[in-house]
Amino acid sequence: MRRTLLFATLAAAIAFPLIAAPLGWEFYIGFASRVMIYALAASSLNLILGYGGMLSFGHAAFVGAGAYVVGILMAEGVASAWVSWPLAILVAGLLAAAVGAISLRTRGVYFIMITLAFAQMVYYIVVGMKAYGGEEGLNLATRSSVGFGLNLKDDATFYYVVLALLVAGLYGLQRAANARFGRVIEAIRENETRMEAIGFPTYRYKLACFAIGGAVAGLAGALLANQNSYVNPNLLFWTQSGSLMIMVILGGVGTLYGGLLGAIALLVLEEVFSAYTIHWQLGVGVILLAIVLFAPQGLAGLLARRRDG
Amino acid sequence: MSQRLLSLAALSLALATPALVAPAAQAADKIKIGFISTLSGPSAAIGLDIRDGFNLALKLAGNKIGGLPAEVVVGDDQFNPDTGKQLADRMLKRDRVDLLTGIVFSNIMLAVVPAAFEQKTLYISPNAAPSPLAGKGCNPLFFVVSWPNDAYHEAAGQYATTKGFKNAYLVAPNYQAGKDSLAGFKRYYKGKVVDEVYTKLGQLDYAAEIAQIRAAKPEALYAFLPGGMGINFIKQFVAAGLSKDIQLIVPGFGSDQDIIRAVGEPMLGLFDTAHWSYDLENDANRKFVAEFEKEYKRIPTVFAAQGYDTGLMMDAAVRRAKGNLDNKEALRAAFRAADFKSVRGAFKFNKNQYPIQDYYLRVVSKDAEGRIVNKKIGTVFTNHGDAYVQDCAMK
Amino acid sequence: MSGILILEQTLNGLQFGLMLFLLAAGLTLVFGIMDMINLAHGSLYMVGAFLAATVAERTGSFVAAVAVAIVGTAIVGMALEMTVLRRLYARDHLAQVLATFALILIANEAVRLIWGPQVPLNTPPALSGPVQLLPGLAYSSYRLVIIAVGLAVAALLYFAVTRTKIGMLVRAGASNREMAIAMGVNIKRLFTIVFGFGAGLCAVAGAMLGPILAVQVGMGESILILAFVVIVIGGIGSIRGALVGAILVGVVDTMGRAFLPALLREFLPPQFASALGPALASILIYVLMAAILFWKPQGLFPARG
């Protein structure tokens, strides 16, 4: 049943742009791309938060870093995706490694605060970069070029590229989760002291998890910069980290498709509600609160977890 | 089991989204206008005034633009470029608007217009008119109804020079319009600039800046702080006792009705420069002011006048193009002709599609009925264009 | 750099810091005693400001506005505690973060529905002018009142926490909750009272800062982060830490924004200085927090032994 559902979803996703055009739904191809990009970002946070149990409030900084790498390179004349996207992944990953190296030496609320502080620092630095738009953001002249005769400016082509990368990302997540790395990380989340006593270098595992999550977030950021053809410091503000967290919790913390489901749920809710009322955030807030308070599903992994001293 | 159900539900909802929100196919003989503006937050008064002025023009024309029934799709950018961009995307791609307009702030507009240009949709700006789009970046699809960003500030600089202030301190927010404003002031101010300070866009507490101003002891202070920023700054400036020693000069909208409503009497005696004044003596303006006060029970600001003029301009242009919205070239030519009676008097476009017009000196004072208004007391510039037009390649 | 300038900026920093203290005090108590991260604290500040604005407009009395705001927000806070927040004490930090984040969304929209996106709040006319402190320094009288109120509240809190029975219970709960329960303290009622009190403090800050900033939806988010920085610096659960931390943050932030760009201009070419200055000034308090945590990982005055 699971397998069939998976293939059905994939088939529907592949078919979507083809049926959207004749129905006059072109706008929604772009919308679907946006959902998938956020799904990728949320999944990268899910790795850190869901599997790793690390409450990082600075994840938006890594997404934003990836986005700005693409934006800045574009402004300097480098449009090739083969250069800017890997660079976005690298920069975001290194940033995550640096932030993680310092933050992971702390625990509990101090960890949350330090990740938050670092994220705000990156935000203010980006705001200060007047050469690249500062407060106003930076328009990208065009979308990245991938070659092979493919034009990413065409919404449908871009959609397929994003879909391919999302599938690759989820596949990678599945492999990692089922491999030794994933098992160790989850065990550390359950009881770090025990894992340390057994002899695992927990700090190194957590740092690796943090850096990988950050790197994938950078990729999502690169795609986001392309989707909007625009980057702006708001991408890095702490409330964006909050939105990503909401997606993860809505979808199911620590589950493979948690990021995907959460992104779909939140963005679709936003789109549908906002067509009827400007107060859609009220609905989202109530649903989120209800889930946290009453719905163990999605929070099942969390409830089993012991609290960090 | 429940995860599967959840995924199925999510999937169905996702695929059904377009059906839930996509609008019905539109009738052919209608004009759709996308109106994005800042309708919430401390500077909401500006967006609301533009909207009200625009709606008034529509109402007086029987809710028609150029003879076609008009449908206006309104969105609130919440002073956030991301939100503005998303609204624009939706209006351009899903609602397929024929014309886009409304944005107050340059940073939001600069994020939005590339998408409009890509869709070959004309953008008629009722307010933001930054220098990049006046010079090298000028675009045939971009029309400015208000005034080039620098203009009010150039006029103010001219006034400061004429009045003989030996030195001046300059303040503006750190975004394109802010930089344009101080560049404009300096272009015509021949005295000494003591300091040039850029504050954070949206900043509300100016205690630190006011302390610096006090220490610098300038003769005049030129502050470009639109909307909520200006309200707070003027209140705090007066509260710190500096209004006695330093002459505050602002661009016209910095002391307009929205700020007067919030600050009141402490503003009397403030000088400002603008392209329009509520007491301008022409038929279009008299009608506008009377109708606006009747409809909305308040005195219009320059923003309302600009919104109204935008409605008038669209009406005249679409009529001139005989309601043919698909022929973009003809529509553009119709707009360029600018054949309408503006509330500011004569209106004509420069080759970069920014206006050439007069700029006046105004002072905040009480009118015959005791209301606090901006009275026109002189003319600073006649037939004034902008400094960037020579870089524009358009003919 | 004149003495007057430094004095004025110090007063500005003090004013800013004392208001932060009002927010941080409630936050640190809730965190210290209940071990709960409450992101909705900023929303209580917002509710306080809106209530004050409405009352000020209706009655024309600023004092009445502040009084009603305190009582109203305390009631809202206690109601919130008894219905929603109580269920979160036993949960872990992630659940608390998400639930209170959801409360922020709900609060923002609820306020928007009831009041609209913003309401005006003006300084009382008697305080709109300056006070001549020194020749050459006419400081805003309203800001002086803010400083006075902040110091008064700090003194009141000191008295309440050190000299009254309930203060003792609060300190006991902060330093060792399990022991306090074991000793028979009605911990449920204590929590509710502490929460309501913290909400009341938020209302004072919201009402007093309203005329200087703007009473608008979402006003809590930006100040919330600063409040968290303050309690982390000061030490969780400690009111003394909150006061010291808040004044430190207020003064450092104000001085940094005022003098750092000028200072940089002395050493660096103007190009770099004008770009680096404001950015560095903005992140200064985060750097400060990181530095303090490096030397004292539990903050300056941790409540727990």
In-domain check, residue B23:
no
Q: Span B50-66, mean pLDDT?
A: 94
Residue A129 touches partner C, C-beta closer than 8 Å? yes
Residue A211: predicted pLDDT: 95
> What CA–CA distance (Å, rounded) separates C147 from C12?
9
Establish if C304 belongs to a structural domain. Answer: no
Residue C170's CATH number:
1.10.3470
Q: What is the pLDDT of residues B243-274, one digit of tens each?
A: 888 999 999 888 888 888 888 888 888 899 99
Secondary structure (3-state) at A76: coil
DSSP string spanning B134-170?
TTTT--TTEEESS--TTHHHHHHHHHHHHHT-SEEEE
Residue C3 has pLDDT above 70, yes or no: yes
Cβ <8 Å between B212 and C214: no
Residues of chain C whose beta carbon is less than 8 angstroms from a beta carbon of chain A are 31, 37, 84, 87-88, 92-95, 97-99, 101-106, 108-110, 112-113, 221, 225, 228-229, 232, 236, 274-276, 278-280, 282-283, 286-287, 289-290, 293, 297
Using an 8 Å Cβ cutoff, are B233 and B240 in contact?
no
Task: Report whether pLDDT(A306) > 60.
Answer: no
Q: What is the dihedral of CA C8, C13, C19, C21, to 10 degrees?
A: -140
Dmax (CA) of chain B: 81
- Same domain as B336, residue B366: no
**A299, pLDDT greater than 60:** no
The whole domain housing B208 covers 151-276+361-384
Structure tokens at C117: 């996106």
Lowest mean pLDDT among B71-75, C28-32, C66-70: C28-32
Count up the domains in chain C and report the number: 1
Structural domain span for residue C166: 3-295
In chain B, the number of structural domains is 2
Tell whether B320 and B172 lie within a shared domain: no
Q: What element of type H or E holds A135?
A: none
- Quickly list H helices, A47-139: 59-75, 81-103, 108-128
Looking at the partner chain, which of C2, C117, C123 has a beta carbon nearest the beta carbon of B41? C117
Give residues 23 to 42 of B whose Cβ lies within 8 Å of A: 25
HSE-up of residue B74 (Cα within 13 Å, Cβ side): 15
Q: Are B239 and C278 an interchain contact pair (Cβ–Cβ within 8 Å)?
A: no
β-bridge mates for residue A111, sequence order: none
The reply to whether B252 and B193 lie within a common domain is yes
**The pLDDT of residue C150:** 93
Q: Which of B81, C107, B39, C46 is nearest to A281 (CA)?
A: C107
pLDDT for the residue B26: 45
Closest CA to C239 of C78, C14, C22: C22
* φ, ψ of residue C131 in degrees (nearest 5): -120, 130
Identify how many contiguous H helices and E strands chain A contains and give both numbers: 13, 2
B171-203 pLDDT, tens digit each: 998 888 888 899 999 999 999 999 888 888 888
Residues B141, B223, single domain; the answer is: no
Q: How far, in Å, CA of A121 to CA of B309, rounded?
A: 44
Q: What is the mean pLDDT of residues B52-77?
A: 93
- Asked if C34 contacts C178 with a C-beta cutoff of 8 angstroms, the reply is no
Residues A83, A74 contacting (CB under 8 angstroms): no
The ipTM is 0.85
Answer whether B362's CB lies under 8 Å from B272's CB.
Answer: yes
The answer, for A110 touching chain C at a CB cutoff of 8 Å, is yes
Q: Confirm if B42 and B228 have CB atoms less than 8 A apart.
A: yes
Q: Is residue B11 part of a domain?
A: no
Is the pLDDT reported for residue A300 higher than 50?
no
- Stretch A5-16: mean pLDDT: 86
Q: Quick check: A302 pLDDT over 70?
A: no
Mean confidence (pLDDT) of chain A:
86
Q: CA–CA separation, B308 vs B145, rounded Å?
A: 10
Cα–Cα distance, B337 to A11 (Å, whole number): 53
Structural domain includes residue B104: yes
Report the residue from A102, A113, A282 with minimal CB separation from C228.
A113
Task: Indicate which CATH number applies to the domain containing B106.
Answer: 3.40.50.2300
Mean pLDDT within B325-338: 90
Distances A117 to A121, A309, B49, B387 between C-alpha atoms, Å: 6, 22, 39, 43
CA–CA distance, A132 with A119 (Å, rounded to integer): 19
Domain contains C300: no
The two structure tokens encoding residue A33: 């791309």
Are B54 and B112 within one domain? yes
B223-246, pLDDT tens digit by residue?
A: 999 888 998 999 999 888 898 889
B267 and B288 belong to one structural domain: no
Positive or negative, the CA dihedral A150, A153, A156, A162 is: positive
Does C303 reside within a domain?
no
Total residues belonging to chain A: 309
Angle at A267 between CA B34 and CA B106, to 5 degrees: 40
Q: Per this entry, what is the length of chain C?
A: 305
> Which structure tokens are listed for C173?
């709960």
User: What share of chain B has pLDDT > 70, as a percent?
Assistant: 93
Answer yes or no: do B176 and B203 share one domain: yes
B265 touches chain C (CB under 8 A): no
Q: Are residues B334 and B292 in the same domain?
A: yes
Six token digits for residue C104: 């922020």
pTM: 0.85
